[in-house]
Chain A
Amino acid sequence: MNQTTVTESNVNPQLLKKRKAGSGKAGFYLRQLKKSPSGMAGFVIILIVLFLGIFGSWVAPYDPNLAELSKKLLPPMSEGHLLGTDQLGRDILSRLIHGTSVSLIIGSCAVVVAGAVGTTLGVIAGYFRGWVDTIIMRLVDVVLSFPFILLVLVINAVIGTGLKNIILSLAIAGWVIYARVVRSEVLALREKEFIVSCVATGVPRWEIILKHIVPNLFTPIIVLSSLQIATYIIAEASISFLGFGVQPPQPAWGNMLSEGKDYIFSAWWLITFPGIAIVVTALGVNLFGDWLRDVLDPELKGN
């Protein structure tokens, strides 16, 4: 890519703007990805999870709610049931695949909502300081004084179960982390000389925030999101496990764990596979987030 840059800039600098968009950037990220085994692993896991989440109903061998009591508690590798069946004779693989979309939707939507709200409030608090900062941060303190899972559970119990409400309760309990991290980043950033130099140049305030501060927040936000998405997937599993959240018979990794826990000593596969699914997804998202953080730092681009 460097080669093309050199020749382009010799021809016409205006043409070079194209470098920003288009295939060049995607190609660059793909090449970076190939260099990082852990990033690649995370990327592949995310792709698989995404694929299963979107096309799950076509991929799954059985209807996830088809109960065949005659075939209950079949161990893995049984005929026709790769991962075995549960106490009602439902195919575990099919239920896992169907549960993927639930975890994915909840995890990603909750991160987007919590991230958007938390980042906005964090930027406002950090940039404008004063009483706005005080109000926002005291609110954050209040929310943070409750244990995360407990708060999610309480909110969920109040506003009711269902996909939308789970996302909402995760976001209500989760935005504070973003607000805190973002605020402290903004506090540090606004004193940096390159932000002060924007003020000196005469850049409008909103532009300083949107064009100079927010882009420098991407790295911490992405890293945080990769951790949070995993947290939310696990939190959804936890509250579904506790009987809130996703209601049976709709399959979700959490309520599969919950239903399987009674058979923990007799049929290990009921809880092992949903557990592995949760761990692998969380791991994949984390690995990918780590890689993304490295790549988004332009100072590393030369290497």
Chain B
Amino acid sequence: MLPEPLLEIKQLKKYYEIKKGWFQPMQQVRAVDDVTFTVYKGETFGLVGESGCGKSTTGRAILRLQEHTSGEIRFAGRDISGLPYTEMRQLRRKMQMVFQDPYASLNPKKTILQILTEPLRVHGLYAPEERVQKAIEMLEIVGLSEYHLHSYPHEFSGGQRQRIGIARAVILQPELIIADEPVSALDVSIQSQVINLLLQLQRDFHLTYIFISHDLGVVRHMTDRVGVMYLGKLVEQAKTEELFRSPKHPYTRALLSAVPIRHPDEKKERVVLKGDVPSPLNPPEGCHFHPRCPDCMQICKTEKPPVVEVGDHVVACHLYATENR
């Protein structure tokens, strides 16, 4: 059976304009530059990359929390990239988000009951008493209890708050959840609990995840397919196992080699990148990665790399372009 695409992103771009002064030309930051990928029903798609590479912006642009510059966002076959606020609002029942910072993502003036029933209320689901019942059920599913209903967010620990954030996203029974670094603000011991909760919810509610993270260990554990981002561009995507076994793009190789080894006897080749991530205000010509690339060729300095399929991988790199092989 062919997997059914749930979300198709085509040439998504998000540029920020920066005013330097009255008489200077506007400068552009290409936070997300021409990103194309597809997420299939029931899978977990990971977006990885270092900070500032545009993975969170991509996530927020998909949910229209930030207006994108151009591109197409197809959700369940429907282009949602131009929908006005009110129409988009209806659709949000089907696509939810879990935020990175559990301390900032819950309104400090609302009780847990209010936070959890609000999604149901604004979408007109269930009668008021049933909503309370649903909220209690959801709290129990995420490992909290009815006892917490009337507490305020500040009375909880980070892990508990993140559970509440997850409960709020799942209570609408959406099809897609974008999890923007859902565990990176948590202690390692709590991280695994929250990850297991996410996996359990995925099984129980048939959820599709876009999992944004910089933690490769977590991504390897969580995701079915991964997209690697560098400076606003998607440089490689492949099945998770495939990507971790044989990374194609030089950046992916360097990134994966930075994962700490699991056993002191494990031998591993370390690819160390030179220099820093260039400023997105002034990205390098040609391939954005070329100044740091260990396999840089002449063509990389002038021409943008083509997107090519190499086995199961989709790679944006001159190394794999047919004419260079």
Contact = CB atoms under 8 A, between A and B. Distances in A.
B122 A16 contact: no
B105 A16 contact: no
B222 interface: no
Interface in B280-297: none
Interface of B: 60, 63, 65, 85-86, 89-93, 96-97, 99-101, 104-109, 113, 118-119, 122-123, 129, 132, 136, 146-147, 149-150, 152, 154-155, 165, 168, 172
B104 A216 contact: no
A249 interface: no
B92 A201 contact: yes
Interface string A106-150: 000000000000000000000000000000000000000000000
B99 A197 contact: yes
Given A14-B129, A193-B104, A194-B104, A201 B122 contact: yes
Interface string A194-205: 111111111111
A164 interface: no
Contact of A200 (B92, B146, B154): B92
Contacts of A203: 89, 118, 122
A13 interface: yes
B240 to A, nearest CB: 26
Contacts of B86: 204
From A194, A202, A205, A216, name the one whose CB has the most chain B CB atoms within 10 angstroms.
A202
Interface in A19-78: 19
Nearest to B114: A211
B175 to A, nearest CB: 14
Contacts of B104: 192-194
B65 A202 contact: no
Nearest to A5: B150
Nearest to B105: A193
A262 interface: no
Contacts of A212: 107
Nearest to B165: A197
Given A9-B149, A202-B123, 10 more contacts: A9-B147, A9-B150, A13-B113, A193-B99, A198-B118, A200-B97, A216-B108, A298-B109, A302-B154, A302-B155
Contact of B122 (A13, A197, A204): A204
Contacts of B85: 205
Interface of A: 5-6, 9, 13-14, 16, 19, 192-205, 207, 212, 215-216, 298-299, 301-302
Nearest to A205: B85
30 contacts: A5-B150, A9-B147, A9-B149, A13-B136, A13-B146, A13-B149, A14-B129, A14-B132, A193-B104, A194-B104, A196-B60, A196-B65, A199-B65, A200-B92, A200-B96, A200-B97, A201-B92, A201-B119, A201-B168, A202-B89, A202-B90, A202-B92, A202-B123, A204-B89, A207-B122, A215-B109, A298-B154, A301-B152, A302-B154, A302-B155
A210 to B, nearest CB: 12
From B109, B119, B122, B149, name the one whose CB has the most chain A CB atoms within 10 angstroms.
B109
A219 to B, nearest CB: 9
Contacts of B65: 196, 199-200
Contacts of B108: 194, 216, 298-299
A215 B109 CA distance: 8
Given A9-B146, A13-B132, A194 B122 contact: no
A150 to B, nearest CB: 33
Nearest to A298: B152
Q: Give the 3 A-B residue pairs with the shortest CB-CB distance, closest first.
A: A202-B92, A193-B104, A193-B105
A13 B140 CA distance: 14
Given A16-B149, A200-B65, A299 B96 contact: no
Contacts of B165: 197
A197 B115 CA distance: 11
B107 A19 contact: no
From A19, A203, A204, A205, name the one whose CB has the most chain B CB atoms within 10 angstroms.
A203
